[in-house]
Amino acid sequence: MKCSYCNRKAIYYQRHSGKHLCRKHFINDFEKRVRYAIKKYKMIESGDKIAIALSGGKDSVALAFALNRLYGKRKDVEFVAITIDEGIEGYRPPTVKIARKITSQLGIEHHVVSFKENFGMTLDEMVKLGDKKPCTYCGVFRKYLLNKTARQLGATKLATGHNLDDETQTILLNFLQADIERLARLVPQRVQKGLIIRIKPFREVYEKEVVIYNLLFGLPMDMNECPYSHFPVRAAVRDFLYDFENKYPGRKFSVMRSFEALIPCLKELYPQIDLNACEKCGEPTPKRVCQACVLLEELEKAKGKSMQMSK
Ligand code: SF4
């Protein structure tokens, strides 16, 4: 099959647009949609220093590469990458290696920040000590470190690799669980002291397109799954969306557009509350003490108990 734009051989059939795309036009289309999302939400502006949350997985690697291609030559925009090493044996070390490799290839300043150095224990150790789910510790401490490190590096925005599939799954999941407050958290934030604004430049591209983009540029890809990953409800929503999109191409965009239409209502229903500085660590929090400090205190207590028992 020929490309819909030229005489070259098509490598991808874009079902939602009905277009066949060759390598060149696939890349053009992909990057055009990334630029569109960036412009639409004013994600990158002159003077910005963008911290890229680079786990070393396929999405974040593609994100670092694409941002560097699209904005790397601009003198008024700067990039820095942050990798959080949670301390998940067998899973995180290979992706940290990939993150180091890609940043060195792209010439992007890179910082690896670990749970062990900052909290005194790895995620694997936290899971053994505490009674919470691994993703609870991981999510809270990762967000905490990303925000803190980005701010310390002087970043104005924090870019994550969430794609259209991730976003629509989260939107639908929140609807299905009637968790509208959590849905409102997806609304672009306003500037608040100490909090670095998050941006998602891949929110208009499908996950499979990210994979193809990586393949076309020969980017390193680690497709392993975290050993703690266990999301039965999200998996059901993902499968449903996948089937629905298969039957009716473009419906993931419909989910996104419906969400966007609701943004003004969500802002009114759940206005973003003013943040305080955590009484313990000074990081921004809606409460008196931030969630990271609360969890850390629980873990320290559990650690003390387990040490006493082993004496
Ligand atoms: Fe962290 Fe793994 Fe859970 Fe993802 S699946 S939040 S990496 S523990």
Q: Is 258 in the pocket of ligand 1 (CB under 6 A)?
A: no
Q: Is 143 in the pocket of ligand 1 (CB under 6 A)?
A: no
Q: In the predicted model, is pLDDT for residue 190 greater than 80? A: no
Please, which residues bridge with residue 239 across strands?
Answer: none
**pTM given for the model:** 0.95
Q: Which of 128, 133, 135, 160 to mutate to test the pocket of ligand 1 (most atoms within 8 A of CB)?
A: 135
Q: Is 94 in the pocket of ligand 1 (CB under 6 A)?
A: no
Parallel, antiparallel or unpaired: strands 78-85 and 109-114: parallel
pLDDT, one tens digit per residue, over 239-258 is 999 999 999 999 999 999 99
Q: Is residue 275 classed as helix, strand or coil in its secondary structure? A: coil
Q: Which residue has the tokens 């601009």?
A: 74
- Report the interhelical angle of 291-310 vs 134-152 (nearest 10°): 120
Nearest residue to 259 (alpha-carbon basis) of 191, 184, 206, 207? 184
Q: Is 221 in the pocket of ligand 1 (CB under 6 A)?
A: no
Q: Is 135 in the pocket of ligand 1 (CB under 6 A)?
A: yes
- The pLDDT of residue 82 is 98
Q: In the predicted model, is pLDDT for residue 181 greater than 80? A: yes
- The pLDDT of residue 191 is 81
Q: What is the mean pLDDT of the chain?
A: 95
Residues 6+ apart with CB under 8 A from 99: 54, 55, 56, 60, 61, 81, 83, 110, 112
Q: Which of 55-64, 100-109, 218-227 has the lowest mean pLDDT?
A: 218-227
Percentage of the chain modeled with pLDDT above 70:
100
Nearest residue to 195 (alpha-carbon basis) of 146, 160, 136? 146
Give the mean model confidence (pLDDT) for residues 257-274: 93
Check: CB of residue 183 under 8 Å from CB of residue 174.
yes
Q: What is the pLDDT confidence band of residue 133, given thresholds at 50, 70 and 90? A: very high
Q: In the predicted model, is pLDDT for residue 192 greater than 90? A: no
Check: CB of residue 21 under 8 Å from CB of residue 5.
yes
Q: Rounded to 5 degrees, what are φ and ψ at 282? A: 85, 0
Rounded to the nearest whole angstrom, what is the distance from the C-alpha of residue 3 to the centroid of ligand 1? Answer: 39
Check: CB of residue 213 under 8 Å from CB of residue 27.
yes
